[in-house]
Amino acid sequence: MNIASTIVTFIFVFGVLVIFHEFGHFYFAKKSGILVREFSVGMGPKIFSRQKNGTTYTIRWLPLGGYVRMAGWGEDENTLPAGSNVGLVLKDEKVQRINLSDKIQLTDALPLEVTNADLEKDLKISGFVYGQGEQVFTYPVAHDATIIEQDGTEIRIAPIDVQMQSAKVWQRILVNFAGPLNNFILSLVLFIALVFIQGGVQVTNTNLVGEIQANSAAEVAGLKENDAITAIDGTKITDWQDLTAIVSQSPDTPLQLTVQRNGQTQEVTLIPEPVEQDGVVVGKMGVAAPLKTDLTSKLSGGFHLFIDNSLAIFKVLGSLLTDFSLDKLGGPVMMFQYSSQAAQSGFTTILALMAILSVNLGIMNLLPIPALDGGKIVLNVIEGIRGKPLSPEKEGIVTLIGFVFMFGLMILVTFNDISRYFMK
């Protein structure tokens, strides 16, 4: 049952993060006039597909995230090599559909062996028509024609005017930035939701007591909500840091608390309950910090959680430069381990994990490393400054170097995670 819940949690968290990220690219690509040929939920073989407004929406068997396929972006292919056997569906003397798949038979398709095809600029396809001898026939291709790929997925062809490189530089920067931006938005929304679920923002710069847990050491001692603990064994208490520091260091040890309640001072004896945390026994009194429950506090509390977690990531990245260690990084194995812990702790912990990972994903993707969104943005900025893009050869080499670096790092991080979590 634990393994099943962990797998479901991992798929849910990973899927939501990736799909939100990809939807950012998808949305701004559409707004910039870039053709999004496919938006897929899941990976691997296709289960379902439907085309609308030029985009084919697919659901695939492996429930591990998803992807967007933008014209002229990344590994997108838009070529038909010579020798390909295709079926052409013509209407008004123009090719409307090109069938490459053996899985789909079109009864009205014209069988053709391709000798030359340009689906980007001239929009023409030439070849030998079966049964028509050695004569080469050339057919114009409609701008919004579709191509049925080997796996049966039907997508639009990608003429040059709707490809990524045809958009303005600022539009391409926005498209590349939109994925991480969506992760930031998701993280912020989740942190705000967590504050609402919690009931408000904890106030820790006070010595007031919040909610008292049932059957806790605090309830046994007679503490009440809104009591002010002013001293413990004569040591002055001004905030929660003072309070928790003394209590946690005193498991199963009687403590004399000076408490103010309704303007009156009284003495209370508290015996903190011994609880094991990370292999160490600490004292627990069973009270929560008081909460600010107004709307403004809840919204600002979620925003502050988002900022604090973002700054924590930058601190880790900074420490990597001065003291590199693979233990400071984590990959899918670490995420699976965290998913296991979150699944056992409940839905609120899963949301917290998703919020933290989402801001992590956003920031990591903006690092200026080729093959990441940040690296692509750097290339866009360089193009804007130079007034022209890098040559395809140079850009390909830079991207390949970035990919090899990231792939190698991923292997090292994954092996290190396996060693940490499963070979102890």
In this predicted model, which residue has the larger pLDDT, 279 or 227? 227
- Domain at 271, CATH number: 2.30.42.10
On whether residue 24 sits in a domain, the answer given is: no
On whether residue 106 sits in a domain, the answer given is: yes
pTM: 0.81
On whether residue 188 sits in a domain, the answer given is: no
Q: What percent of the chain has pLDDT over 70?
A: 92
Same domain for 306 and 414, yes or no, is yes
Indicate the residue among 107, 133, 162 that finishes a domain: 162
Catalytic-residue membership of 22: yes
On whether residue 76 sits in a domain, the answer given is: no
On whether residue 15 sits in a domain, the answer given is: no
- The H-assigned helical ranges of 32-73 are none
On whether residue 23 sits in a domain, the answer given is: no
Same domain for 354 and 416, yes or no, is yes
For residue 223, which amino acid is it?
L
Same domain for 396 and 318, yes or no, is yes
Widest CA span in the chain? 106
Domain count, the chain: 3
Same domain for 247 and 318, yes or no, is no
Same domain for 308 and 245, yes or no, is no
Same domain for 155 and 228, yes or no, is no
CB crowding 252-291: b at 16 or more within 10 Å, else e = eeebebbbbeeeeeeebebbbbeeeeeeeebbbbbbebbb
Q: Is the confidence at residue 419, as pLDDT, over 80?
A: no
Same domain for 348 and 325, yes or no, is yes
Across the range 21-30, mean pLDDT stands at 96
Across the range 284-300, mean pLDDT stands at 91
Same domain for 381 and 342, yes or no, is yes
Cα separation, 126 vs 117, in Å, equals 6
Across the range 59-84, mean pLDDT stands at 87
- Among 22, 38, 149, 273, the active-site one is 22
Q: Which domain holds residue 268?
A: 204-289
Distances (CA, A) of 306 to 124, 227, 249, 303, 355: 52, 31, 31, 5, 8
Which residues are CB-neighbours of 211 under 8 A, at least 6 positions away?
225, 287, 288
Same domain for 285 and 307, yes or no, is no
Q: Is the confidence at residue 18, as pLDDT, over 80?
A: yes
Same domain for 320 and 388, yes or no, is yes
Indicate the residue among 261, 289, 317 that finishes a domain: 289
